[in-house]
Amino acid sequence: MSIHIGAADTSRIAVWAWEHQMTNRRIPTAALVLLVPVLAAIAAMGTRAVKGASTTTAAAASTRVPSVTIKNFAFRPAKLTVAKGTRLQVTNADAAAHTFSARNNSFSSPVLDPGRSATITLGKSGTFAFYCKIHANMTGTVVVK
Ligand SMILES: [Cu+2]
């Protein structure tokens, strides 16, 4: 079971209870004195749950697919380090066609027209210089560990 009462809810309920008490005098002060700490405790539990959730999100973010974007005749990033077996997503966000190709021919994307992307699996450890076969001055380096 999960209860989702945030700090904002707690204060809203407290304000409501307070106003209710002022106008109707139906809620005894003793009940309020008990209610507020209980709500605060529930809110604290809720905060802890949210913290746990954000930790999970951070872990997911760190394992996201690494990517290289090509823009203005350059690779971004031009230097990167990835784990062996990484499936690198290369996206051409430029107005011209490009490739993402290893100097030693160990990997290469097809010619990527503007807006197209390819996934390159980097299955061997090492340092790989890469370039664009159409524009040889476009270069970069990927370290596969
Ligand atoms: Cu190019």
Per-position pLDDT tens, the chain of length 145: 445 555 555 455 444 444 555 455 554 555 545 445 544 544 555 544 444 444 344 444 444 569 999 999 999 999 999 999 999 999 999 999 999 999 999 999 999 999 999 999 999 999 999 999 999 999 999 999 9
Going by DSSP bridges, is the β-strand pair 117-122/79-82 parallel, antiparallel, or unpaired? unpaired
Read off the tokens for 7: 């700090």
How many DSSP H helices and E strands does the chain contain?
A: 2, 8
pLDDT recorded at residue 73: 98
Query: What are the structure tokens assigned to 77, written together?
Result: 């990033």
In angstroms and rounded to an integer, the radius of gyration of the C-alpha atoms of the chain is 28
- What pLDDT is recorded for position 14? 45
Cα of 123 to ligand 1 centre, how many Å? 24
Q: How close is the Cα of 105 to the center of ligand 1, in Å?
A: 16
Q: Which helix (H) or strand (E) holds 116?
A: none
Six token digits for residue 26: 């139906």
What pLDDT, on the 0 to 100 scale, is given for residue 75?
98
In Å, how far from its chain's centre is CA 6?
24
Bridge-based pairing state of the strands 101-102 and 126-131? antiparallel
Please give the distance, rounded to the nearest whole angstrom, from the Cα atom of residue 91 to the centre of ligand 1: 12
- Span from the CA of 92 to the centroid of ligand 1 (angstroms): 9
Ligand 1 centre from 77 Cα, in Å? 15
Task: Work out whether the CA dihedral 8, 10, 16, 19 comes out positive or negative.
Answer: negative
Question: What pLDDT, on the 0 to 100 scale, is given for residue 55?
Answer: 39
